[in-house]
Amino acid sequence: MRFGAFLLTLWLAFGCGGEPVIDFSGPVAGWPEWGGDKGGLHYSPLEQVHRDNVDALELAWTHRSGDFNGPSAERMPTGLQVTPIVTNGHLYYCTPYMRVFALDPETGTERWSFDPGLRAAGVGGPYPLTCRGVAYWEAEEPAAGAACQKRILYGTKDSELWALDADTGRPCADFGEGGKVALREGIEGDVPPWEYYVTSPPLVLGDRAIVGALVADQLRTDAPSGVVRAFDVKTGALLWAWDPVPPDYRADVPPGERYHRGTPNVWSLLSGDAERGLVFVPTGNPSPDSYAGERHGLDHYGSSTVALHADSGRVAWHFQTVHHDVWDYDVGTQPELFQIEGVGGGRPGVLQGTKMGHVFLLDRETGQPLYPVEERPVPTDGVPGETLSPTQPFPTHPPPLHPTELTPENVGYTFADRGSCVEALEKYRFDGIFTPPTLDGSIQYPHTTGGMNWGGIAVDPVSGVMFTNQTHIAMIVEMVAREDYEKLPADAVAYPDELYPMTGTPYGVKRSGYFSSAGAPCNPTPWGSLQAVDLKTGQVRWKVNLGTTKHQAPWPLYLIPGLGDVGAPNFGGGMVTAGGVLFLGATTDRAFRAFDTRDGSMLWETELPYQANASPLSYRLSPEGRQFVVIAAGGNAISKQGDAIMAFALPE
């Protein structure tokens, strides 16, 4: 009997089959914003799933919309880059075909869906169909029995801003015309559907929905304006517009047009500080990206973090991360708002990551760096007609986080392909980061897709540690004189190589990967990394390779130590929890992983049906409920496409 009691005690302590006993005593929390909160920290206070039990996670539910397709003659490829939000008792997300779904967060059961009837789904343009997320608004004093007292707002490929009843999914009749506002008002000229549209969710601050838009890269000097606008959440009325031209700009807008053409666009995620009434905007390049000789001063707000007054759109301050940018190093990462004791004297701050692997810590109220930023000399001898900046800003706390060295000794994935990599290194110009584009060709390192990109940086506000994944890939940029460009056939280059006209300049531009004869990246490994940086000291706490060559390199090459575990290009971001776990998908090997925040050791891994090119989220909605971790797995234009929203939790 004693032995039986002992066995019963063990069974109760460890659970049937060794499953963990779930602790229901911790906090509950939703995920009401794309980045977790309006400051975009990608942090969850939940701790039911922690470093000691995360290896027991299992798939709880999957939702499939059916909205995906690969490249075809009739339809554009899709990229599932969405991070759902969880609020109002629902999980909301949008698909690449711009449909919106509301699900039961604990079961994945569909509650309602909305289809805007996407018109711009045909082939055209360099980008896949994608919708990164939706936003939520709720009336402070809701009218009893009235519709749309809670709203979902989002933008579409058709350049429309929609407002939906968050409880039913029906369009809000009092918003614009039948629930939508046309975002092409004031965007004049012959602009095809793929050249201008919204990819990121609006920022809702008070009763304002603030939104920018993607403008296709490298096409022409008179590209659509990069204007940022605020609309009344209740009516859809335009409240203000920030046209990102310099304060003393003298060029006139053409007759009949409202905004300046060719200005820096804002395609990525915005952040907001309701207390200070500020909106934080990451800007792209003026058009086109690789030649700035025809910009005539429009660089002023390019590749910058800009703080706008939420009530008027007036500029409060701006900080430029790249001067006179000709590298397509536009700011793709959401500005992240923090206030951590021991970081910048405890001042309210803005953390801005960049494609160069530079992280700038700025004073939230003034835009001044919280730590020294050094203007260092860089090459200035680009193509004829170009006038490059003699210096570029380099942060010192933390120092640059992306490698920038290429030598004959460190290029090449294996001994067999080292020769072709050295040959290319000797053929093309490389003078380190900020090597100018040239007619003979230059190597650009980092690549235009990272370092850090729109997936964002995860910040633990309690420990003061940031966690960032990066892609480490080099590329070749060749400027093409106009007369030579005009002789090229239309199909001279196929994606992932790129050929752009840059109409209105003396040049076109060709971009391709710096790859070996075997097709592997030439730059040193790792090709993807994950690192933790102590924001108080500015020092890297740990760094690990992120991802493997599985699904990229042939079998069994990806299984060989030193050849397979070399990191992978990654598109998407991470999420850190109070349980001491960092969750991250993003990699080309289709894995979803959990890491110990103390040392970067991998605690859990599962293979997904498609790449998870999105950022995860976590929520727990009641004291009796489980903590869920959700990731969108659907790939992108150069991988297998899919449509899976996948939720993981500890076993019931």
Backbone angles phi, psi at 114, to 5 degrees: -135, 135
Residues pairing with 165 in the sheet: 151
Task: Count other Cβ atoms within 10 Å, centred on residue 11.
Answer: 11
How is residue 587 written in tokens? Answer: 């990699």
- The pairing of strands 628-633 and 617-619 is antiparallel
Chain centroid to CA 402? 17
How is residue 257 written in tokens? Answer: 């047009």
How is residue 515 written in tokens? Answer: 């790859």
Whether the Cβ atoms of residue 101 and residue 92 lie closer than 8 Å to each other: yes
Which of 544, 592, 329 is closest to 450 using CA atoms?
329
Which of 305, 300, 306, 308 is closest to 325 using CA atoms?
300
Give Cβ neighbours of residue 486 (< 8 Å, ≥ 6 apart). none
- Identify each DSSP E strand in 487-560 by its residue range: 498-500, 507-513, 528-534, 540-545
**Phi-psi group of 612: left, alpha or beta (phi > 0 → left; psi -120 to 50 → alpha; rest → beta):** beta
Task: Count other Cβ atoms within 10 Å, centred on residue 377.
Answer: 10
Active site residue 328: yes
Q: Where are the alpha helices (DSSP H) in 168-208?
A: none
Radius of gyration of the chain measured on its C-alpha atoms? 24
Annotated catalytic residue, options 217, 328, 330, 417: 328
Q: Does residue 2 sit in helix, strand or coil?
A: helix
Give buried/exposed letters for 593-632 (b at 16+ CB in 10 A, else e). bbbbbeebeebbebebebbbbbbbbbbbbeeebbbbbbbb
CA distance 316 to 514: 41
- The pairing of strands 196-197 and 150-155 is unpaired
How is residue 449 written in tokens? Answer: 């897709």
**Which residues are known to be catalytic?**
328
